[in-house]
A and B are shown apart, each in its own frame.
Chain A
Amino acid sequence: VTFTCPAGHASQSGDYCDLCGRKMTAPAVADPSAPEPSAADTSGTTDQALSGWPDTLAPEVAAGGEPCPLCGSPRPGTDRYCEACGHDFVAEAAGASDPPASSTPAGDPIVPSRWEATVFADRAHYDRVGTKDTPFPMHCPERQFVIEDRQVRIGRRSASRGVYPEIDLSGAPVDTAISHLQAVLIRQPGGTYDLIDPGSMNGTTLNEDAAPIPVDKPVPVNDGDQIHIGAWTTITVHACSRSAHGKPATQQTDEPVEGETAV
């Protein structure tokens, strides 16, 4: 038996979604001034009959469902997003890049702007770096990511290090000069983003600057800015005026390549 949570994830637990933690049924506390009986009791509850360790049933879920057109992972039930790469099945079915309004969770705020990132193989950046250790990729399709979380990490997924960046560049062709955790975009009060390099191996440069941005120091990014990382990867950030629903469409095609190449 699987349950579907308000965000559309398939869950083996019936009490709370075992992916995002949302409560499964009924409005939780619609009126906070009149809390339900258990609310007065600050010592929490246990023994949820419907609960279970998420992993115990995982293989059943993984078994069914259409394959994701991007990464090939089976779609868990009627889950809206691919669990492996975040691909939006609903938007694809509707044939639009914008998710249909009906699928917008109730109360989803319309924010004035959101940000997008376009990742591409940048010959000019490659030539500036001037490395011979990493070849420039023969073919590299542009990758698009939505930037809307409070914190958006840029890097290459590594299970062994426990790094799962939102902008995951571990798919082929892979730029191994990108650190597993290369940089982080942090949302600012005005809806803009600051860029931080937490100490990547090869540094992060912005626009035409030859010198990498200082480690651990937030640098504001503007519409149209180009973030150069690794041996040949450039990320262009755009501010776009649109509603905030949707989900970062991360891409990954291959297993991540461990290790980093110095350039």
Chain B
Amino acid sequence: MTTFRVDVSQNEYLPGGGTDVNAIVTVEAGGGSPTVAPEAAEIVIIDVSGSMGYPRRSKIEAARDATIKAIECIREGVWFAVIAGTDQAREVYPGGGQLVRAGAESRAKAARAVSRLDADGGTAIGAWLRLANQLCTGQKAAISHAILLTDGQDEDESPAQLDAIVEICEGNFQCDCRGVGTDWEVSELRRISSRLLGTVDILPTPADIPGDFQALMQQAMSKGTADVALRLWTPRGAEVELVKQVAPVIEDLSGKRVPHDELTGDYPTGAWGNETRDYHVCIEVSPGELGEEMLAGRVGLVVGGVAEQQQGLIRAIWTDDVELSTRISPEVAHYTGQEELADAVQEGIEARQAGDESTATQRLGRAVQLAAESGNEATLQLLEQVVDIEDLDTGTVRLKSHIEEVDEMALDTRSTKSAPIRKPAS
């Protein structure tokens, strides 16, 4: 059985009159095993719109191959289905509004059905999600997960229509979104994956699809604990300023709060395997007297609606000792930097696309500086495709005269990947 451990890193000392309490909450899940996992459902949604047939049928062929490989990774007995998406959604396998348990026979039949898929039609991502939602809610498996692949943006639905459908899906299944090529919209897929507790990434070429699908499915199969939420208690009079997952990927959860009672709220985090995630929590409290100590927050987990006993405590102690109150928690500093890095990248790209080169240069320069400081090599490498770096330490950069669209989209989608904190050498 999976056990969770919550640890808090913070500087609990505040100067007189200080009100903002920052902490990094580390949640470590261990001891879980997929063999005793609850019932799971997997849905593969692939775009078969007309554009998937160009150039030279490479994308549709890779998508078929990837889907078959992903199905091979599905654990024996797990419910699954395949959806093909155009301007409408079609059940490719098994059909009849149902899912089927994975086994030798069902996998082979699914592979045959998938291999016959052809590319023709429009793109209505909302319709695809609506069908996935119907299949998942009909099955009621404890863990429901989908992989969505597209090569274009939603053409047949308005953003409001798509948002409304995503809202219906919220809480029913998690969804990892992948865009192949450069004709899809990063912000569109990010909105879907954020709300459906999944990830978003770019697959620059069709050849990247099969490996990624396999990895995604293997990761999905490693999740043995369903329906985990972070529970945060704060005292009367306190305001929760921020609850943000900061590792492995930055994802703001503040807007996902579900009130539990007047002082306690739950933040859904989906299904967990044996893994560690970090959260940045910021709470505004009423200032106490010097020397006074108060609890600014209690953090724990709720698994399937049942609260775990072990908790992390976020504390506040007011002191006039400047040395104590100005000390910075290395964890808070590191992840605050990673949050700023992600923001700087996204603002820089937005400014460049809007033609504001001076803001773009300034923000991407700041991003270079932050990535170098924090050892975020992956983001630094992506930045190097977009800017020429003159000075790493001061963040002096020049925009490249020619930027490949795929490089900019890769930087955008992967900017939320944070670097792990470097443990001090001991």
Q: What residues make up the interface of A, taking CB atoms closer than 8 Å to B?
A: 15-23, 27-30, 32-33, 35, 39, 42-48, 51-56, 107, 149-150, 159, 162, 164
B321 contacts chain A at the CB level, 8 A cutoff: yes
Does B7 reach chain A (CB closer than 8 Å)? Answer: yes
Which of B128-136, B140-148, B307-315 forms part of the interface with chain A?
Answer: B307-315
Interface residues of B in 1-41 (CB under 8 A from A): 5-13, 23
B7 / chain A contacts, CB cutoff of 8 Å: 43-44, 46
Q: Cβ of B8 and Cβ of A53 under 8 Å apart? A: no
Interface of A is mostly: loop
- Assuming the contacts A46-B6, A53-B300, A149-B237, asked whether A29 and B291 have C-beta atoms less than 8 A apart, the reply is yes
The answer to whether B236 and A19 have CB atoms under 8 Å apart is yes
A50 to chain B, nearest CB (A): 11
Q: Is the CB–CB distance between A55 and B261 below 8 Å? A: yes
In the bound complex, CA of A186 to CA of B184 (Å):
47
- Complex Cα–Cα for A18 and B260 (A): 15
For B291, list chain A residues within 8 Å (CB): 27-30, 32
Other A-B contacts than A44-B312, A54-B233, 11 sampled, CB-CB below 8 A, are A15-B313, A18-B263, A21-B235, A22-B292, A28-B291, A33-B321, A39-B317, A42-B12, A42-B329, A45-B8, A52-B309
- Cα separation A27 to B294 with both chains bound (whole Å): 11
Closest to A161 in B: B259
Choose among B9, B237, B285, B311 the residue that contacts A43 (Cβ–Cβ < 8 A).
Answer: B9
Q: How many A-B Cβ pairs are below 8 Å?
A: 116
Asked whether B320 is an interface residue with its Cβ less than 8 Å from the other chain, the reply is yes
> Is the pair B310, A19 in contact by a Cβ cutoff of 8 Å?
no
B262 at interface, CB cutoff 8 A: yes
Most buried by B among A15, A20, A39: A20
**Closest chain A CB from B231 CB (angstroms):** 7
Interface check B390, CB cutoff 8 A: no
Residues from chain B with a CB closer than 8 A to the CB of A44 are 7-10, 12, 23, 312-315
The reply to whether the CB of B286 lies closer than 8 angstroms to some CB of chain A is yes
- Report the separation of the CA atoms of residues A55 and B260 in the bound assembly, to the nearest whole angstrom: 9
Q: Which residue of chain B has its CB nearest to the CB of A45? A: B313
Question: Given A32-B320, A42-B329, A164-B262, are A20 and B233 also a contact pair (CB < 8 Å)?
Answer: no
Closest A-chain residue to B262, C-beta based?
A164
User: How far is A55 from B232 in the complex, measured between Cα atoms in Å?
Assistant: 12
A141 to B312, CA, bound (A): 46
Which residue from B262, B264, B313 sits with its C-beta under 8 Å from A48? B313
Pick the contact of A39 from B263, B320, B324 — CB < 8 Å? Answer: B324
Is B82 close to A, CB under 8 A? no
User: B293 at interface (Cβ–Cβ under 8 A)?
Assistant: yes
B235 and A20: CB pair below 8 A? yes
With A39-B324, A46-B311, A54-B264: A16-B294 Cβ-Cβ less than 8 Å: yes
Q: Are B319 and A47 in contact (CB under 8 A)?
A: no
Contacts of B69 in A (CB 8 A): none
B297 nearest CB neighbor, chain A only? A21
Nearest chain A CB to B258's CB is how many angstroms away?
Answer: 10
List of A residues within 8 angstroms of B11 by Cβ: 42
Q: B308's closest neighbor in chain A, by CB? A: A53
Chain A proximity of B263: nearest CB distance (Å): 7
Q: Does residue B289 face the partner (Cβ distance < 8 Å to A)?
A: yes
Q: Please list 13 pairs of residues, one from A and one from B, whose beta carbons are closer than 8 Å in the complex, sorted by A's number.
A: A17-B295, A18-B233, A20-B294, A21-B234, A32-B319, A32-B324, A35-B321, A39-B13, A39-B324, A42-B11, A43-B8, A53-B233, A159-B259
Decide if A19 touches B235 in the complex (CB within 8 Å): yes
Closest to A23 in B: B293
Question: Who on chain B is nearest to A107 by CB?
Answer: B289
Report which of B9, B238, B259, B319 forms a contact with A21, defined as CB distance below 8 A: B238
Question: Could you tell me the distance between the alpha carbons of A100 and B237 in the complex, rounded to whole angstroms?
Answer: 24
A20 near B289 with CB under 8 A, answer: no
Task: Please indicate the chain A residues that have their CB under 8 angstroms from the CB of B317 in the complex.
Answer: 28-29, 39
Chain B positions within 8 Å of A32 at CB level: 13, 290-291, 319-321, 324
Q: Is B296 on the interface with A (CB-CB < 8 A)?
A: yes
Chain A residue numbers with a CB within 8 Å of B5 are 46
User: Hey, which chain B residues are within 8 Å of A150, CB to CB?
Assistant: 286
Smallest Cβ distance from A42 to chain B, in angstroms?
5
A30 to chain B: which residues have CB within 8 Å? 291
Q: Measured between alpha carbons, how far is A57 from B7 in the docked complex, in Å?
A: 24
Residue in B6, B290, B292, B296 with the greatest tally of chain A CB atoms within 10 Å: B292
Q: Which residues of A contact B8 (CB under 8 A)?
A: 43-46
Cβ of B112 within 8 Å of any chain A Cβ, yes or no, is no
Determine the distance from Cα of A47 to Cα of B261 in the docked complex, in whole angstroms. Answer: 23
A28 to chain B, nearest CB (A): 3
Instruction: Check if B327 is an interface residue, CB within 8 A of chain A.
Output: yes
A63 to B313, CA, bound (A): 28
**How far apart sit A43 and B231, CA to CA, in the bound complex (Å)?**
20
